[in-house]
């Protein structure tokens, strides 16, 4: 498996030489400065690619795009989308012409990954990302004041949510909104509460089936172009894998993944297998899903979560938490071996250590939420150890 690392570009506090020190050779990045829906030009792509590969001693390459964003209008199925589909297809062709052929994206409406706390304290002083179901309900029902929201929560959660709001200062409420928006590192749309209400209103009348239809249309429009130019598109699961703010989430379960691969059968229509996003859902048996969808996995995010019965969860150590990481790694290595034996040229599956704890000298350094240097280095080292052991025992290629 190719060891990769998410890098947010030249403004990232984590530098390319440090990524090489961590042991990664593939870079996962995106052109966050380009607005959604605008073509990624060959010049812009080449500039980023050459920046990554500029020091031959480091031996780094741009391995995966994360993400080539899908415009909100496409998700909404709103208006004449021909130019947006054309632009997406052209960006795929331009990436392929520059040698970048694995493209991660998501189909989450309005907001990306969502947490209620970016620095939950750990023993010894480290911090972790956390999603608190009660605090989320407090925001949804009593700050956002979404119509009908209270009917979606049990009484116990609502009672605790009311107590949280009653004790929260305006600064606490503002901080919570900023935290909820933090999952969008390259987004141009960040909302205040009235703006979020207006954005949610645009989705009025779009339920699960309508949203699925819009997604299937997107796949039909772009997957043939991806296949033609040798690009592997790989959708990232919803994070968390549950409806949020009344918006349908349709990449959250095994049934959802099956719908996606069936909606447009193609080698170019693949999955980013994120053990943390899927692992946050009580309905998901992550190792079983890895086995079921192994032929469709083009990229992997390996991280772990610890869940609570009320729907809360926290980022755990990469080899801790509720997901059997060893079982998942074993499945990915076996799938690699199958691809190699079948004669596939790109048989290695790129993976990256996803969200890490903020530890040691990273505390207060100002890295992107969830993406500190040391916590991810620790996770990569742990996963590398699992890979080495599993490969040796099973006679599998790494």
Q: Report how far apart, in Å, the C-alpha atoms of 80 and of each of 85, 168, 198, 255, 371 are.
A: 10, 44, 21, 30, 37
Known catalytic membership, residue 354: yes
**Pick the catalytic residue: 120, 296, 301, 357?**
301
Known catalytic membership, residue 191: no
Which tokens go with 64?
């995966």
Residue 241 is classified by DSSP as S
- Do residues 52 and 30 lie in contact, with contact meaning Cβ atoms separated by under 8 Å? no
- Do residues 16 and 52 lie in contact, with contact meaning Cβ atoms separated by under 8 Å? yes
**Strand ranges for the chain from DSSP E:** 2-6, 26-29, 61-66, 102-105, 117-121, 127-131, 232-235, 269-274, 297-302, 304-307, 313-316, 350-353
**Pick the catalytic residue: 98, 104, 234, 274?**
274
- Do residues 66 and 200 lie in contact, with contact meaning Cβ atoms separated by under 8 Å? no
**Pick the catalytic residue: 296, 318, 355, 357?**
355
Q: With the C-alpha atoms ordered 328, 4, 360, 115, is the resulting torsion angle positive or negative?
A: negative
Known catalytic membership, residue 32: no
Known catalytic membership, residue 136: no
Residue 244 is classified by DSSP as B
**Pick the catalytic residue: 88, 136, 142, 371?**
371
Which tokens go with 170?
């305006």
**Pick the catalytic residue: 324, 354, 357, 362?**
354
Known catalytic membership, residue 355: yes
Known catalytic membership, residue 282: no
Known catalytic residues? 236, 274, 301, 354-355, 371
């Amino acid at each position: 498996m190719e060891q990769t690392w998410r890098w947010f570009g030249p403004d990232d506090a984590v530098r390319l030489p440090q990524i090489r020190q961590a042991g990664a050779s593939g870079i996962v990045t995106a052109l966050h400065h380009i607005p959604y829906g605008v073509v990624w030009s060959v010049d812009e792509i080449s500039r980023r690619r050459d920046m990554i590969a500029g020091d031959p001693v480091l031996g780094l390459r741009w391995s995966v795009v994360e993400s080539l964003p899908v415009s909100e209008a496409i998700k909404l199925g709103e208006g004449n989308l021909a130019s947006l589909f054309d632009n997406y297809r052209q960006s795929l062709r331009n990436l392929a012409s520059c040698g970048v052929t694995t493209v991660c994206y998501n189909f989450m409406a309005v907001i990306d990954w969502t947490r209620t706390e970016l620095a939950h304290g750990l023993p010894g002083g480290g911090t972790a990302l956390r999603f608190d179901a009660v605090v989320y309900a407090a925001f949804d029902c009593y700050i956002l004041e979404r119509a009908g929201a209270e009917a979606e929560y049990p009484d116990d959660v609502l009672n605790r949510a009311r107590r949280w709001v009653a004790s929260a200062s305006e600064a606490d409420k503002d901080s919570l909104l900023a935290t909820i928006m933090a999952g969008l590192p390259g987004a141009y749309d960040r909302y205040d509460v009235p703006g979020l209400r207006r954005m949610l209103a645009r989705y009025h009348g779009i339920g699960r089936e309508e949203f699925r239809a819009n997604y299937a249309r997107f796949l039909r429009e772009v997957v043939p172009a991806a296949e033609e130019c040798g690009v592997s598109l790989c959708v990232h699961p919803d994070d968390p894998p549950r409806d949020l703010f009344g918006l349908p989430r349709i990449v959250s379960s095994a049934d959802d993944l099956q719908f996606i691969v069936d909606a447009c059968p193609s080698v170019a229509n693949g999955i980013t297998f994120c053990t943390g996003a899927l692992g946050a859902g009580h309905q998901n048996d992550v190792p079983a899903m890895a086995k079921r969808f192994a032929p469709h996995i083009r990229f992997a995010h390996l991280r772990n979560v610890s869940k609570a019965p009320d729907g809360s969860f926290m980022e755990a150590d990469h080899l801790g938490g509720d997901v059997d990481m060893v079982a998942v790694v074993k499945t990915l290595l076996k799938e690699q071996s199958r691809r190699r034996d079948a004669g596939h040229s790109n048989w290695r599956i790129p993976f990256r250590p996803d969200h890490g704890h903020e530890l040691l000298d990273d505390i207060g350094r100002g890295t992107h939420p969830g993406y500190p240097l040391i916590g991810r280095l620790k996770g990569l080292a742990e996963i590398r150890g699992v890979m080495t052991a599993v490969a040796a025992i099973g006679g599998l290629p790494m």
